[in-house]
Structure 1
């Protein structure tokens, strides 16, 4: 549990550390290296191409919104898998707790039996404990590359979208607040349908419910508004995605449970 929490915090930290490398170098066709050639420049070019479709000042901000939605659509299959895995993990928590109580001893032989029965429980219920991390692992390079594309695309420096300048933090702090709010709402929806007992068995999820919105909200206070805009649109997309996917899953399970009870 602690390892997962540290993993999430560490991955967020990578975004900050990435800002220390090449961040003052504009991304151009002369930029070299695998990172620039295959990650940063394609995203920068995609933003510029979409922006040119709109002959208006707000075109660059609108381009970020559109590219964000495209990125989320690409990641959609992985996120659906994450939702299903998360729900399956929540459902087996009572059985998982029984196994842990059964093999509470810390000796090596007992711990081996604990791991064997835990893996067997996962296999029987089709649960992959790593499935929840996969979308994050895939998304992080994209987010870092997107951050570099925003920071190093010179055309974005002078453009505005709505009330903020894309290359500067939001002067009214509206985007950071929205970023934190939508992050919290998305995390809350992920936990919807779980009992207090299940939540007590998964303290890392409860902890992340509050830590993630605060961390991302604080980052959005200092990062360019273009990146904060990416977070707001991306998290709003995730909220709608969770509502559209998880609610039918919950209704289906309720119907199945009701049918078995009758």
Structure 2
């Protein structure tokens, strides 16, 4: 969600955005955005200059690269499921809402996770990697004429989807992906906010996707579809 919102909030004033090249002024433009742009253009050259298919292939490549991190995340969730009975016991042992009880519960939980080899933050790794990729993709599209003016199916890739099909698909696949992820999350890690985000995230994604480039929406749809599969 954060990745999509950040890209959606970035400047879209074409007159203030310089074109990208291997001599661009800062390291982000020169080594990240430029080479992502060139990589997508190279993929497009292999598929008859179809920039939409190039973005789809690029997305799949990114998701495949992230598979090891996803595997680590899934293993961590499996470990958390195994210690669920111990977590329930700790909650019964420290049921109080006072500061001391909360602190004791946190200490015992950290100890339990450490003994079980669980890092509760590993689930964030794939998204932390995707965030700069999403922003770099946005910049590459906006600053590469071929991508900015490219067409795919009914869409101008540099503009929002006029029929809102991509935003709807992005919201739908985000919901399915989030729902599946929640099913594999230990009950001890869930709360009202976590469950609410299952429905809130697709809404945020869908609304944000209405105003951003179709190419970004396409990336998000394929990425979440890949995650669902």
Question: Which TM-score tier does this pair reach, normalised by the shorter chain?
Answer: 0.7 to 0.9
Hey, what does 2:38 align to over in structure 1?
Answer: 45
TM-aligned CA deviation for residue 193 of structure 1: 5.9
CA distance in 2, matches of 1:66, 1:145: 16
Query: Over aligned residues, Cα RMSD in angstroms?
Result: 2.6
Aligned equivalents of 1:188 and 1:221: distance in 2? 22
How many residues are aligned here? 227
- Residue 49 of structure 1, CA deviation: 0.8
Instruction: Check whether the contact 1:169–1:225 (CA below 8 A) recurs between aligned residues.
Output: yes
Higher relative contact order (CA 8 A, sep 6+): 2
Inter-CA distance 65–130: structure 2 relative to 1 (3 Å threshold): same
Alpha-carbon displacement from aligned partner over 1:200-241 (angstroms, at most 9, x marks no partner): 94334312211211111111111111111101111111111x
Of residues 166, 183, 191 in structure 1, which corresponds to 2:182? 191
User: Which stretches in structure 1 are left out of the alignment for 5+ residues?
Assistant: 1-7, 241-262
| Superposition deviation, residue 79 in structure 1 | 1.2
TM-score by length of 2: 0.87
Shift, 1:13, TM fit: 4.4
Runs of 5+ in structure 2 lacking a partner? Answer: none
Is the Cα–Cα contact under 8 Å of residues 150 and 156 in structure 1 kept in the other structure? yes
- Cα deviation digits, residues 186-210 of structure 1 (max 9, x gap): 1111133679xx3894334312211
Q: Give the alignment's TM-score, normalised by structure 1.
A: 0.77
Residue 116 of structure 1 deviates from its aligned partner by 2.4
Residue aligning to 2:191: 202
For 1:65 and 1:21, the matched residues in 2 are separated by 26
Distance between the aligned counterparts of 2:109 and 2:46, measured in 1? 53
Counterpart of 2:151 in structure 1 is: 160
Change in 2 beyond 3 A, CA 1:36/1:180? same
Kept after mapping to 2: 8 A contact 1:69/1:237 = yes
Q: Mark the CA change 1:219 to 1:117 in structure 2 (over 3 Å): closer, same or farther.
A: same
- 1:17 & 1:61 partners in 2: Cα distance? 22
Q: Distance in 1 between matches of 2:113 and 2:183?
A: 22
What is the DSSP-based 3-state SS (H/G/I as helix, E as strand, rest coil) of the residue aligned with 2:122? coil
